């Protein structure tokens, strides 16, 4: 139980970090597309 409690916040943080990173990438790509077009 202790192992799962210690590992779950890490996994959640990693998924959130990936989510925010992807959102940032999409925003950057949209900005570039809007600027070029």
The pLDDT of residue 16: 83
Q: What is the DSSP letter of 37?
A: -
| Digitized pLDDT (tens) for each residue of the chain, 37 residues in all | 555 666 666 777 778 888 888 999 999 999 999 999 8
The pLDDT of residue 17: 82
Radius of gyration for the chain, computed over Cα atoms and rounded to the nearest angstrom: 16
The pLDDT of residue 23: 93
The CA distance from 29 to 36, in Å, is 11
């Amino acid at each position: 139980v202790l192992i799962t409690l210690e590992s779950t916040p890490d996994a959640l943080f990693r998924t959130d970090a990936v989510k925010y990173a992807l959102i940032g990438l999409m925003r950057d790509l949209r900005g570039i597309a809007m600027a070029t077009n």
